[in-house]
Amino acid sequence: MIQLKTITSLCFVVVALLLATSSSGLFARDGYETERREMIAAIRETVDETRSYTGLDALDEQVMQAVAAVPRHEFVPRDLRFAAYLNSALPIGEGQTISQPYIVALMTHLMGVDGDSAVLEIGTGSGYQAAVLARLVRHVYTIEIIETLGRRAEDTLERLGFDNVTVKIGDGYIGWEEHAPFDAIIVTAAPEQVPQPLIDQLKPGARMVVPVGPAFGYQTLQVLEKQQNGDIRETDILPVGFVPFTGEGERTMEIQGSE
């Protein structure tokens, strides 16, 4: 006969196993454990190195846990999986990149989101940033102008079980009015000027995190916070290098600026 103490011990073992495979450890045993730990250590080191710009001693621990949990190797081309957990940007095709893990973590931290947030991402790319956000917020709406990238990201997110992400193929310049206003907006390509439709779709009190500057020129990561009266307060964070923002609105601004 199995004694009560033994049954209780077995119950604790079962609970422990269930917790180990819960959302917090969903991707813990995929062969990249060491690489993932090294990536997180590199992010923390870069946070320290950039403190003079950002004023941050550390990033929100929930953000760090989300970055640690998402299988970045699933979002890069197969021939680059060996480099998936390096703290660097990587090409994903179509002239686009998957952002440096530090930048993903920093931008996510700066958004100030929580479990009730509905956020808009402009520039789905590989889907990696959306996956990180999906572990922290209620829903992610993400727009990608390059159809091949958007469809691939959508497939990857669905395959990995991120069911709180909706992908749209379209021009991110105009945002996604249907689901506005948003609790936060993140832009993962650099416009020369922040699109007005995105500002309009931001809730009062909410933030937009966006790199701003000329294509392949000096760019600055900014936080735009919308005040209750609609005014925008801009804060420069640090110099960055992003792929240029594309879309009809951006091209229209370029044409107007050249006249």
Residue 20 neighbours by CB under 8 Å, 6+ apart = 28
* Of 9, 22, 52, 99, catalytic: 99
In the DSSP assignment, the letter for residue 244 is: B
Cβ(94)–Cβ(146) under 8 Å? yes
**96 three-class SS:** strand
Length of the chain: 259
- In 3D space, the residue among 54, 26, 100 whose CA is nearest the CA of residue 220 turns out to be 54
Residue 99 bears catalytic tag: yes
Which amino acid is present at 236? D
Pairing of strands 139-144, 219-226: unpaired
What six digits make up the tokens of 238?
A: 């640090």
The DSSP call for residue 59 is -
Burial letters for 95-126: b for 16+ Cβ neighbours within 10 Å, e otherwise? Answer: ebbbbbbbbbbbbbbbbbbeeebbbbbbbbbb
Q: Is 11 helix (H, G, I), strand (E, B) or coil?
A: helix
Question: Which positions are catalytic?
Answer: 99
